Amino acid sequence: MAKKLTCKSWAEPFKVKVVEPIKMTTKTYREKAAKEAGYNTFLLKSEDVYIDLLTDSGTNAMSDYQWAGMMLGDEAYAGSRNFYNLWDNIKKYYGFPYFVPTHQGRAAEHLISKILIKPGDYIPGNMYFTTTRQHQELAGGTFVDVIIDEANEPQNTHPFKGNVDLNKLDKLVKEVGAKKIPYISLAAPVNMAGGQPVSMANIIELESYAKKHGIKLWLDATRAVENAYFIKQREKGYEDKTIAQILKEMCSHFDGIWVSAKKDLLVNIGGFLATRNKHVYEEARNMVVVYEGLHTYGGLAGRDMEAMARGIEEMTNYDYIRSRIGQIEYFGKKLMEYNIPIVQPIGGHAVFLDAKRFLPHLKQIEFPAQTLAIEVYMDSGVRAMERGIVSAGRNKVTGEHNYPKLELVRFTLPRRVYTQAHIDVTFESIVSVYENRKKIKGLKMVYEPKYLRFFQARFDRL
Ligand code: F0G
């Protein structure tokens, strides 16, 4: 009997106009490349990678509309026209009156951490992000994780695993006092938890809690469009709202946001800080001159600000964001059919393999996620990223490794770049590594840099 159609495709609302050839390599070649890279996928040459799922950061394909805008770059040192175009769209789509451009997200994190944090302060947030926490610590603060427990359970299918546990937050406030908490650092969705969203209800609760205690509420809005999509899909009352309406409503609850434009905004470089707080704005506008460049370019070329301005107009298109997240869902569901352990629900920017369950014979100190990432690379040339003990770094007081509950490998989908067939190749490679998993041995770290070690650490095979 013929198969019955069960669902409609998530197919892309765009087509390919320019192509970029990629190199096909042999397994022997890749084993040599992996060794030379110290078994760290960050240290591989891009040339030696077939399908690059390391990150969705700055790896997006721009549209013809964005490329056309690049030709309209006004490269004046001061007061570029593109700065004003970008500002207009930040006001229109995010709803903040003030904004400062930066060359990427962590530069905006640097500014906001320096402006708001005093040594000895505590910054509660929904799971750490590597660069965010690093800047909070460099400013003298201590990050405290107040995410709900479900976030640390890869098989728990809670629809909003990025939510803050208000009891954990309240406990911290009672312990250290609200005066020692300059702001709550929310991320929506939560990258390290598997791209898990925060509900609007949780944001509203947080806002009223923060107001009551005189604490500011800031959002890492790097992938806020993906969060808005999940709210539309999963939260009652939002089914009929547009992505743009939900995004603006989310932002309306915060004092300000910082953004790595290299994600949602469909560009290759850029970031910004936006706020309704005039004092913070004035500080940031002054400080950006020291670290990035004049406040009307913040380390960016005029053409890049134009690409960002136009990317903002494209990012909230429903058919686009549905196809983006649809592609990730397609990938995750295929893995689940073969019982490959992944984080559920499937996230907004990536599929995360659960390395603890994939390689249960490895101890966490044998770097299971790091091992799994490099094994998949050697198998097929697909590059992914460790998000486990290496990324978690060391405790800033004791110097011991942090042992995170989640030991994951992230297969991140750049926006508008890869096809369904590329996803199939990736899926087949993961299944083939899974079939041979028992033979896989772990790694030992042989070089460790001081900051954000996952980027540059080197390993050897055990
Ligand atoms: N916040 C989040 C949630 C991020 O995912 C990133 C970067 C940043 C801030 C920092 O922005 O890279 O522009 O300086 N995430 C990349 C990733 C690196 O691969 O997840 P940046």
Do 218 and 365 lie in one domain? The reply is no
Do 78 and 44 lie in one domain? The reply is no
Q: Alpha-carbon distance 312 to 314, whole Å?
A: 5
1, part of any domain: no
Do 121 and 234 lie in one domain? The reply is yes
Of the three residues 315, 339, 362, the one that is the final residue of a domain is 315
Of the three residues 315, 350, 376, the one that is the final residue of a domain is 315
Do 310 and 324 lie in one domain? The reply is no
Quick check: 457 and 447 in contact, CB under 8 A? yes
- Smallest CA-to-CA distance from 412 within 319, 355, 331, 345 is with 331
Mutate to test the pocket of ligand 1, among 103, 131, 304 (most ligand atoms within 8 A of CB): 131
143, part of any domain: yes
Q: Alpha-carbon distance 371 to 385, whole Å?
A: 10
57, part of any domain: no
Query: What is the CB neighbour count within 10 angstroms for residue 41?
Result: 23
Q: What pLDDT was estimated at residue 4? A: 84
CATH number assigned to the domain comprising residue 310: 3.40.640.10
3, part of any domain: no
Do 273 and 366 lie in one domain? The reply is no
Q: Is 41 in the pocket of ligand 1 (CB under 6 A)?
A: no
Do 292 and 323 lie in one domain? The reply is no
Q: Alpha-carbon distance 66 to 261, whole Å?
A: 14
Side-chain half-sphere CA neighbours of 367 within 13 A: 26
Phi, psi of 274 (to 5 degrees): -135, 145
Q: Alpha-carbon distance 112 to 256, whole Å?
A: 10
7, part of any domain: no
- Smallest CA-to-CA distance from 300 within 105, 114, 455 is with 105
210, part of any domain: yes
Do 322 and 308 lie in one domain? The reply is no
Active site residues: 77, 129-130, 220, 263, 387, 454
- Smallest CA-to-CA distance from 121 within 142, 103, 107, 148 is with 142
CATH number assigned to the domain comprising residue 428: 3.90.1150.10
Looking at the CA of residue 270, tell me the nearest atom of ligand 1.
13
Of the three residues 315, 337, 354, the one that is the final residue of a domain is 315
17, part of any domain: no
CA distances from 61 to 113, 203, 282, 380 (A): 31, 31, 34, 23
Residue 374's H or E segment, with its range, is helix 368-380
pLDDT in tens, the chain (462 residues): 788 877 778 999 999 999 999 999 999 999 999 999 999 999 999 999 999 999 999 999 999 999 999 999 999 999 999 999 999 999 999 999 999 999 999 999 999 999 999 999 999 999 999 999 999 999 999 999 999 999 999 999 999 999 999 999 999 999 999 999 999 999 999 999 999 999 999 999 999 999 999 999 999 999 999 999 999 999 999 999 999 999 999 999 999 999 999 999 999 999 999 999 999 999 999 999 999 999 999 999 999 999 999 999 999 999 999 999 999 999 999 999 999 999 999 999 999 999 999 999 999 999 999 999 999 999 999 999 999 999 999 998 999 999 999 999 999 999 999 999 999 999 999 999 999 999 999 999 999 999 999 999 999 999
Going through 284-354 in order, the beta strands assigned E by DSSP cover 350-354
Do 73 and 40 lie in one domain? The reply is no
Q: Alpha-carbon distance 372 to 40, whole Å?
A: 11
Do 237 and 327 lie in one domain? The reply is no
Do 237 and 343 lie in one domain? The reply is no
Counted domains in the chain: 2
Residue nearest to ligand 1 atom 12, measured at CA: 105
58, part of any domain: no
Q: Is 349 in the pocket of ligand 1 (CB under 6 A)?
A: no
Q: Alpha-carbon distance 68 to 72, whole Å?
A: 7
Do 284 and 380 lie in one domain? The reply is no
Ligand 1 centroid from CA 222, angstroms: 7
Structure tokens at 276: 């309704």
Q: Is 110 in the pocket of ligand 1 (CB under 6 A)?
A: no
Residue in the structure block whose two tokens are 């689940």: 336
CA distances from 206 to 162, 216, 437 (A): 13, 10, 43
Q: Is 131 in the pocket of ligand 1 (CB under 6 A)?
A: yes
Range of the domain at 447: 27-49+318-461
Structure tokens at 299: 């380390």
Q: Is 105 in the pocket of ligand 1 (CB under 6 A)?
A: yes
Q: What pLDDT was estimated at residue 52? A: 98
Phi, psi of 458 (to 5 degrees): -120, 150
Do 177 and 215 lie in one domain? The reply is yes
